[in-house]
């Protein structure tokens, strides 16, 4: 039995992880759950899976959770960044699933790596912010870091077909989101409801907005650079509206290998949990004859300037990816709150990238300082 901790258990990925666990009783055990503010859902998860330790975002939510649970659970509830780190590093745990949204996932994921836990990585910001440090820690501690994102899981699987030294490039697919054919002039007036309506995937609000701007794909490009130890110049993005081909690897002999499947996150999650085995999921099969035409075309960088910003931040290096991510988190939150236009998200990020640049990717202190400075600058721009 593999013992798991889940960081972000009430989010869309965390809930899907628990769906997989339910399908295979006796195969997995849940030792730790960490969540943010959704204590009602978390309380139900605690009663169902009886973890050793539970963490929430703050003491107020911890008290709320205690009131919802039987008395014997109350000593198992912690909170804050230290609480998430405790859940991530439980002695009994073999794998920590990092599915907290945003920069908050970095420190508990690093703590789990340093504690010798294998990682199922759905929190791309961990590698966006501190890819060099994180991958060095993975190697130093001899742990496995397995991708949960569908695109990175697809690349991971396709890479198994050849030698790493024979890889010419990796190709990340992007659906294009809900505004693939929207007139660029109309993007400044789109609503949050429109931006949240992803055509293929069911995701949380933050990731849905990032998918609408294509910032999510930009963050995935930066993640891929570190996860697969490949140069930025060897990473491409192609728009594939049907979300059937999840990503591809091109080898130097011209062979291109792809991983295909229905757009369902249970597939890459199950593969990360059971690697190298594949679990018999009860999902509808992919019928190619019913898919119609599969389309592929280059991204429109005028329509999706966030992708250009991400490539720029990656090429600049240092703390620039951290700044990109932090400014984007603030801007997306402002858009969802009605304080910023959709087009204003990328404009805010671009401005912050010009203003916050100091720091080294070799220093966790510098990375965290750049993250904080970028958030302050982004908030300043919003007032």
pLDDT at res. 135: 98
* Mean residue pLDDT across the chain: 94
- Residue-wise pLDDT tens digits, 139-165: 999 999 999 999 999 999 999 999 999
Average pLDDT of 62-79?
Answer: 92
CB of 201 within 8 A of CB of 263? yes
Q: What is the per-residue DSSP string for 100-152?
A: --SGGGHHHHHHHHHTT-EEEE--THHHHHHHHHHHHHHHHHT--EEE-SHHH
Count CA atoms within 13 Å of residue 44 on its CB side. 6
pLDDT at res. 238: 97
pLDDT at res. 201: 65
- Residue-wise pLDDT tens digits, 246-279: 999 999 999 999 999 999 999 999 999 999 999 9
Task: Give the C-alpha separation, 50 to 55, whole Å.
Answer: 13
pLDDT at res. 152: 97
Nearest to 260 by CA among 244, 277, 275: 244
pLDDT at res. 188: 82
Q: Does 179 or 265 have the greater pLDDT score?
A: 265
The answer to whether residue 108 scores a pLDDT higher than 90 is: yes
Count CA atoms within 13 Å of residue 368 on its CB side. 8
Measure CA 359 to chain center: 24
- Residue-wise pLDDT tens digits, 183-231: 888 888 888 888 888 777 667 788 899 999 999 999 999 999 999 999 9
CB of 245 within 8 A of CB of 336? no
Average pLDDT of 284-310?
Answer: 92
Q: Which residue has the tokens 């931040």?
A: 313
The answer to whether residue 383 scores a pLDDT higher than 90 is: no
pLDDT at res. 101: 87
Q: What percent of the chain has pLDDT over 70?
A: 99
Sorted by where each starts, the structural domains of the chain and their CATH numbers stand as: 2-147 (3.40.50.720), 152-264+284-315 (no CATH), 317-383 (1.10.1740.10)
Task: Give the C-alpha separation, 161 to 250, whole Å.
Answer: 11
- Residue-wise pLDDT tens digits, 346-381: 999 999 999 998 899 999 999 999 999 999 999 999
pLDDT at res. 148: 96
């Amino acid at each position: 039995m593999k013992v798991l901790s889940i960081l972000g258990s009430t989010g869309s990925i965390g809930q899907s992880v628990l769906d997989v666990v339910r399908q295979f009783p006796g195969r997995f055990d849940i030792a730790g759950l960490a969540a943010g503010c959704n204590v009602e859902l978390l309380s139900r998860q605690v009663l169902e899976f009886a973890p050793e330790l539970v963490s929430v975002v703050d003491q107020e939510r911890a008290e709320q959770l205690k009131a919802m649970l039987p008395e014997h659970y109350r000593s198992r509830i912690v909170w804050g960044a230290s609480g998430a780190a405790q859940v991530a590093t439980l002695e009994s745990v073999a794998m920590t699933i990092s599915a907290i949204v945003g920069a908050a996932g970095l420190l508990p994921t690093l703590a789990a790596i340093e504690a010798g836990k294998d990682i199922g990585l759905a929190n791309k910001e961990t590698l966006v912010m501190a890819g060099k440090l994180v991958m060095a820690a993975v190697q130093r501690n001899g742990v496995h870091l397995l991708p949960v994102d569908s695109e990175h899981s697809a690349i991971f699987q396709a890479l198994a077909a050849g030698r790493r030294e024979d890889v010419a490039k990796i190709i990340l697919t992007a659906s294009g989101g809900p505004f693939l054919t929207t007139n660029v002039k109309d993007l400044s007036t789109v609503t949050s409801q429109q931006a949240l309506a992803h055509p293929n995937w069911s995701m949380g609000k933050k990731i849905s907005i990032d998918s609408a701007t294509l910032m999510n794909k930009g963050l995935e490009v930066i993640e891929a650079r570190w996860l697969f130890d490949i140069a930025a110049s060897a990473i491409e993005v192609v728009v594939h509206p049907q979300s059937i081909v999840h990503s591809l690897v091109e080898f130097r002999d011209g062979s291109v290998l792809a991983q295909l499947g229905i757009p369902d996150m249970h597939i890459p999650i199950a593969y990360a949990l059971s690697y190298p085995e594949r679990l018999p999921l009860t999902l509808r099969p992919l019928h190619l004859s019913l898919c119609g035409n599969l389309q592929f075309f280059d991204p429109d960088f005028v329509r999706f300037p966030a992708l250009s910003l991400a490539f720029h931040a990656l090429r600049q290096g240092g703390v620039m990816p951290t700044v990109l991510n932090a400014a984007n988190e603030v801007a997306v939150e402002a858009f969802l709150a009605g304080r910023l236009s959709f087009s204003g998200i990328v404009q805010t990020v671009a401005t912050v990238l010009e203003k916050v640049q100091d720091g080294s990717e070799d220093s966790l202190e510098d990375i965290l300082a750049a993250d904080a400075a970028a958030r302050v600058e982004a908030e300043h721009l919003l007032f």
